[in-house]
Amino acid sequence: MKTSIALGVWAYMVVAVLAEVEVFYMITAYSTAAAVITVLATSQAVAVVLFYMQLKDEPGSLRLFALIPIMFLSALFIALLASLG
C-alpha cells in the first residue's frame, strides 16, 4: 500500500475523531448523536482493519475469518440489550 493512502487514512481518522466530538457538542438529541458517533467509530475501525492491517489485500479466506467474531459479538450485543425487555 502506498504511503499516501496511509496518510489519507490517518487524515480521515483525525477528521472522524474531531467530527465525533463536534457531534457531541452540536447534536442534543441523544439517540441521533449516538447513532452518528457509532457510525463514525465503526468507519474508523473499518479503515484501520482494511488499510493499516491490510485486510483488503489478504486472501478471501482470511477476510471471511475476520468476520466470524463480529458475527458472534453482534449476537451477544443484540441479545444483551433485548434481554432487558
Partner 1 sequence: MTESWIKRWLFTTNHKDVGLLYFFTSCYFGFIGAILALLMRVQLSVPNNNFLSALYYNQAVTMHGLIMIFWFLSPIALGLANYFVPLQIGAEDLAFPRINAMSYWLYLAGGILAVLSFFVPGGTANAGWTTYQPLAVLSLGTGPTLAYLGMVLLAASVTLGSVNFMVSIIWLRAAGVTLSKLPMFTWFMLFTIIAMLFAFPTLIAAFVLASADRIIGTTFFTSTGVQPSILWDNLFWFFGHPEVYIVLLPGFGIIANVLPQFTGRPLAGKTAILVATGLIVVPLSFGVWMHHMFLTGIPVSLQGAFSVATIAISIPFDIITLSFVESLIRGRVKFATPMLFALGGVVLFIIGGITGVFLSSPVLDRVFRGSYFVVSHFHYVMVGAAIFGIIAGIYYWLPRMTGRMYNERLGKIHFVLSFLGFNVLYFPMNLLFDMPRRIFTYSNIGDWGMLNGLATLGSFIFALAQILLAYNVINTWYRGPIAPANPWGSPDLEWNSHVEGMTPAMDSSVTPPAGGWIGQLATASDVHGPSATAAPGGHYGHLSSRPIEISLGALVFLAGTAFYPGPAGLGLMVVGALVVVYSFWGWGMDDLHDKFVVPPEPEGDRWPFSAVPKLKLGMWVFLSSEVVLFGSFLGAYVFIRAATAQWPIAGSIHEIPLGTFNTLVLVTSGFTMFLALQSIRNGDQRKLMAWLAATFVLGALFMGVKVAEWTNLGNGGFILANPAMSLAASAYFIVVGLHGAHVTAGLLLMLYLMKKTTRGFYTKDSHEAIENFGLYWAFVDIVWCFVFPLFYLL
Site residues, partner 1 (CB under 8 A):
3, 6-7, 9-10, 13-14, 17-18, 20-21, 23-24, 30, 33-34, 37-38, 40-41, 44-45, 48-49, 52-53, 58-59, 61-62, 65-66, 68-73, 75-77, 79-85
* Identity of the residue, 18 or 56, whose beta carbon is nearer to partner 1 in the bound complex: 18
| C-alpha count within 13 angstroms, C-beta hemisphere, residue 76 | 6
Distance in Å, CB of 22 to partner 1, minimum = 10
Q: Which three cell numbers stand for residue 75?
A: 449476537
Distance in Å, CB of 56 to partner 1, minimum = 13
Q: What single-letter amino acid sits at 11?
A: A
Nearest CA-CA partner of 15 in 51, 55, 47: 47
Do 65 and 49 form a contact (C-beta atoms < 8 A)?
Answer: no
Q: What single-letter amino acid sits at 12?
A: Y
Distance in Å, CB of 13 to partner 1, minimum = 5
